[in-house]
Structure 1
Amino acid sequence: MPSLSHPAHVTPAPTPRRDFAGLWVPIATPFTGDVVDHAALRALVQRLRGTGIAGFVACGSTGEAAALDLHEQDAVLDTVMEAAAGLPVVMGLSGHHLGHALERVRHLASRPLAGWLVSAPHYIRPSQAGLRLWFEAIADASACPVIVYDIPYRTGATLELATLRALAAHQRIQAVKDCGGDAAKTQALIADGTLQVLAGEDGNIFSTLALGGVGAIAASAHWQPERLVECMLAIGQGDLMRAQRLWQALAPMMAALFAEPNPAPLKALLAQQGWMEATLRAPMTQASPALAQRLRELTSSHKSELAPALNRP
């Protein structure tokens, strides 16, 4: 176990820089009853992989990773990687026991992961030095890059700007999924240029990219991913008028998908379109009937990019 005195860690073997730019889909985990529906998961990944997205995140918060045991997480990862057909796959990692987190990294070392999406340890609320210890120890143990998942409203731990800058010095810590809720911190990280900044709040994608962020990890990308990719490309090309029109068309559905805790609204939408059941694992509950109806109304006002798949394999 690493010492809390925070000695200089062993320099890890060089890791090539990975470009995390673009739109990443944190894939939802379908259930039939209380069992993971791998056929539905495979079909969804196959549908999304050809839409211009950069890759997938398996077992993130949208994928209800906290409700999956480790064997189920492994199986979900394997299904996603197989169906992704070469598109890169990032794996989610969370918890509060450093030893268990390191065991997890070692256990999946044989998988050709594009990276780890690692959140701060939840519940225990460590100091900034403890947060550095957590991320650096995981990065030391990993053979692939690490994306820092800055999401204090889930973990209870706030990563200060100075801490993120210190983590950026680690050659395996290469990006941040920004759900920190601090616009000044976001802008400072983008200006630094040492970490690739990915919008983690879907409603902040436009502003993050306009400021110089490189991409997004967005649950709403399950719906009309081609249009969201097109919008992000338009921002990068400086065609803000076109980007604004695309964004304004996406915004109502994006807002509805987060009107209740994620991924309940997303699963309701995907269930309406035939991709999976709306089932979530307790204590998560399904979207309210009123929100489900709102999603139907929004879908009917757009030509859905996710056509019904009642005959999916």
Structure 2
Amino acid sequence: MTQELQGTGIALATPMNDDYSVDYHSLGGLLDHIVTGNGDYIVVQGTTGESPVFTWSEKLDILNFVIDHLGDKKPVVFGLGGNDTFDLIEKSKDLKSFDLAAILSVSPYYNKPSQDGLIRHYSMLADAFPHPIILYNVPSRTASNVEASTTIELAKHDNIIAMKEASGDLVQCKTIADNRPSGFMLLSGDDVLTHDIIQIGGDGVISVIGNLMPQAFTDMVNASLRHDVNAAAQMNEKLKEAYALLSEEGNPTSLKAGLETIGIGRRTVKPPLYDASDLLMEKWKAYFENQAK
């Protein structure tokens, strides 16, 4: 199970029409772009997919579309996390019939649970969820860090298979890598740190830039995983300007600007997010023109 989730997972963006409905035509085009670029698996309705602003029914419609469009080309992971443990358990019952490689579950936000609270939350989910769980630690969004010791404790559960680490703390990542049970994966949740995290024992990434530049980023990840350090470092250096543009106006606003620049969907994001500026669009245009030279 875990082997198919090594390498480059793509946190799928959700293209939208001007009325904020899902642009399924562009979503299909984005999936084809990712498949052609050799991303290893697709993550549906994570942060990049604007998961907080879609209803449960809409999320399941998006998931159905992705699975139908991909066929058996790529494994699919689905985002189901939040700050109401029992609600998540109830929703997970609707996923039993879906062919999913795993469920990505972001740690509870706003509530700010203790580490004991996080262990109880995730243990209850792992006992109830019909698919394996990838933990997701992103303190910049949740205001609560899943400490390394908590991750290592949770990794003992048979139904918890990985941690997507977006704390930005390489010491924390190294502690997890050095002390995790056999078979438990450490995945980068930050494109710019992926090369470094793999070097300290990471198994791959769930990526934003993979929507936009799947081949270039996947090549860098694969070089890192085979410990071709010099090649990976050179590839990573070439991506640094794109990393910077992706952070300029936040995610997924900056990503959608880049995608519109290459002809995939619009820059439209759903409120309370705000569409990318014309200035950022010009920067993306200049970036891709320079890449083509």
Category of TM-score, reference length = shorter chain: over 0.9
Task: Give the one of 251, 275, 279 matched to 1:286.
Answer: 275
The structure in which a higher percent of residues are helix is: 2
Alignment gaps of 5+ in structure 2: none
Task: Give the one of 87, 108, 118 matched to 1:100.
Answer: 87
Deviates more, 1:66-75 or 1:230-239: 230-239
1:274 matches 2:263: yes
Q: Following TM superposition, by how much is the alpha carbon of 1:18 offset from its aligned partner in structure 2, in angstroms?
A: 5.2
Deviations 1:50-78 (A, max 9, x none): 32211000000000010111111001111
Distance 2:170 2:233 in 1: 20
Distance 1:90 1:147 in 2: 9
The answer (yes or no) to whether the contact 1:17–1:145 under 8 Å persists in 2 is: no
Trace 1:98-177 onto structure 2 (pairs within 5 A): 98-177=85-164
1:24 matches 2:9: yes
Deviations 1:17-76 (A, max 9, x none): 554211011110011121111121112112212322110000000000101111110011
Q: Following TM superposition, by how much is the alpha carbon of 1:237 offset from its aligned partner in structure 2, in angstroms?
A: 2.4
Distance 1:131 1:108 in 2: 23
| 2:5 alignment partner, SS class | coil
Alignment gaps of 5+ in structure 1: 1-15, 305-313
Q: Following TM superposition, by how much is the alpha carbon of 1:281 offset from its aligned partner in structure 2, in angstroms?
A: 0.5
With structure 1 as the length reference, what TM-score do the two structures score? 0.89
Distance 1:183 1:100 in 2: 33
| 1:32 alignment partner, SS class | coil
Task: Give the one of 251, 260, 265 matched to 1:262.
Answer: 251
Distance 1:82 1:55 in 2: 15
CA RMSD of aligned residues (A): 1.5
Trace 1:1-313 onto structure 2 (pairs within 5 A): 17=2, 19-33=4-18, 34-86=20-72, 87-194=74-181, 195-303=184-292
Q: Following TM superposition, by how much is the alpha carbon of 1:278 offset from its aligned partner in structure 2, in angstroms?
A: 0.9
Among the aligned pairs, what percent are the same residue?
A: 28
| 1:131 alignment partner, SS class | helix
The answer (yes or no) to whether the contact 2:4–2:40 under 8 Å persists in 1 is: no
**After TM superposition, which residue ranges in structure 1, 4 or more long, deviate above 4 angstroms?**
16-19
Deviates more, 1:273-282 or 1:42-51: 42-51
Distance 1:199 1:103 in 2: 29
Q: Which amino acid aligns with 1:151?
A: V
Corresponding residue of 1:4: none
| 1:90 alignment partner, SS class | strand
Q: Which amino acid aligns with 2:46?
A: G
Structure number with bigger Rg:
1
